[in-house]
Amino acid sequence: MSEENVILVLADGSKVTLPVLGGSVGPKVIDVRKLYAQSGMFTFDPGFMSTASCKSAITYIDGDQGELLYRGYPIEQLAEKCSYLDVCYLLLNGELPDTTSSSQFKNLVSHHTMVNEQMLFFLRGFRRDAHPMAVLTGLVGAMSAFYHDSIDINNAEHRHVSAIRLIAKMPTLVALAYKYGVGQPFMYPKNHLSHAGNFLYMMFGTPCEDYIVNPVFEKALDRIFTLHADHEQNASTSTVRLCGSSGTNPFAAIAAGVACLWGPAHGGANEACLNMLNDICQKGGVSYIPTFINAIKENKDVKLMGFGHRVYKNYDPRARLMQQTCYEVLAQLDSQSDPLFQVAQALEKIALEDEYFIKRKLYPNVDFYSGIVLRALGIPTKLFTGIFALSRTVGWIAQLNEMISDEDYKIGRPRQLFVGSPRRDMDELQIPENAVH
Ligand code: CMC
């Protein structure tokens, strides 16, 4: 890291010297760790608009250029040339696997896909109509009770074992949540299938007949997994880091990430986006779009879901890849005229030419087209965020491992700007005598 300083001149004329740290690419950061000791002041940055919460070597985003790199490799190249499990290996280990490591890793993951049979009893405690993300949050958290031989976050071997378990078992848990909701028998994983193929099998296979994995669907799903695998310090990843920073076990930290991802401003946006597209279709389709755009302009609470991003102020590269996958899947189904896809394309075009969106640099994000693909694959809307969660699990783990191995690692503990009442005494209150007991 290159080093220079910034000097802050305070109101009383005193000076505070703070180091400036430079990474390999991207903006430099002002190291404010000694600010409080030197000035008695904190920084104030709700929503972390200008705060780097950690150093990381995993994922880099250039929001202005619309660039996303995993360990230096552009997402476009990875999505085109690698399988999701190779991308998992890359995120966890820093390098892409050679042929031997690739097949060893795939073999390892595929031999951990079953979940402890006892987990099924736990699952059966949920209501059938529970949201899959509620079920998933519970199941992932419960894994610490079922696999307690790998819950020491400070033990590298435990972290490795729990990483493999989580990557391997998340698709099984999502499929279990689905099958439980629809009342169908659970399907045990099949080790000879690919990661994506196995998930499709566990979702849509039944004991009554053979299930043949459609290769176009398999490729599309694998790409969805890859595009969601990591995204630097987003809300759920920061949640996993903060939760893990207390030394809690990896399954508990990942369960916290699942809970955070659920929200509609984050992973829940794919579900919200598809609901929005359905709503527009029902209200008149393409002809209703201008009314909808006006509603957004008139009411801040109405958002064009699948648009906008805290970091991307340009086209999200994942949205472009997802759009391409959308074409491929709909062509396979011979339904290029899918009304939702028509509405999405028209909506994107209108929004990209509209002053409101141009001025605010709002572009489609990954969730704008992912819902249409998932729906075409037969995945119910309520399960969309679960697919995001199973894909992002590897990113959460890689980031958690990186944090634990960082020499600067400390429990996360933000400070605050207190705006409540200063100290006051209860003696001044007229408390009725019998209120105490
Ligand atoms: N539709 C309409 N207006 C929007 C949208 C949108 N989707 N996104 C932002 N704006 C407006 C917002 O109202 C604000 O306007 P003004 O300057 O007049 O107050 C301005 O654009 C800046 O927005 P912001 O909310 O301050 O930006 P943010 O960085 O805090 O929020 C966001 C980012 C993703 C939460 C937001 O763009 C959003 O809610 N988008 C819709 C939900 C969505 O698609 N989320 C998925 C994100 S990608 C997947 C993931 O990482 O989870």
Q: Is 173 in the pocket of ligand 1 (CB under 6 A)?
A: no
- Which residue has its alpha carbon closest to ligand 1 atom 41? 305
For ligand 1, mutation pick of 234, 360, 388 (most atoms within 8 Å of CB): 360
Confidence of residue 153 (pLDDT cuts 50, 70, 90): confident
Active-site residue, from 86, 195, 309, 316: 309
Question: Is 434's pLDDT higher than 90?
Answer: no
Residue 23, pLDDT score: 95
Q: Is 304 in the pocket of ligand 1 (CB under 6 A)?
A: yes
pTM above 0.85, yes or no: yes
- Which residue has its alpha carbon closest to ligand 1 atom 4? 303
pLDDT digits (tens, 9 = 90+) for 157-182: 888 999 999 999 999 999 999 999 99
* Mean pLDDT, rounded, for 12-20: 94
Question: Is 374's pLDDT higher than 90?
Answer: yes
Q: Is 152 noted as a catalytic residue in this protein?
A: no
Q: Which of 403, 379, 401 is nearest to 390 (CA)?
A: 379
pLDDT digits (tens, 9 = 90+) for 241-289: 999 999 999 999 999 999 999 998 888 888 899 999 999 999 999 999 9
Q: Is 309 noted as a catalytic residue in this protein?
A: yes
pLDDT digits (tens, 9 = 90+) for 116-134: 999 999 999 999 999 999 9
Residue 299, pLDDT score: 94
- Which residue has its alpha carbon closest to ligand 1 atom 22? 360
Question: Is 2's pLDDT higher than 60?
Answer: no
Confidence of residue 316 (pLDDT cuts 50, 70, 90): very high
Residue 1, pLDDT score: 54
Pairing mode, strands 59-62 and 3-9: unpaired
Active-site residue, from 367, 406, 408, 427: 367
| Average pLDDT of the chain to the nearest whole number | 94
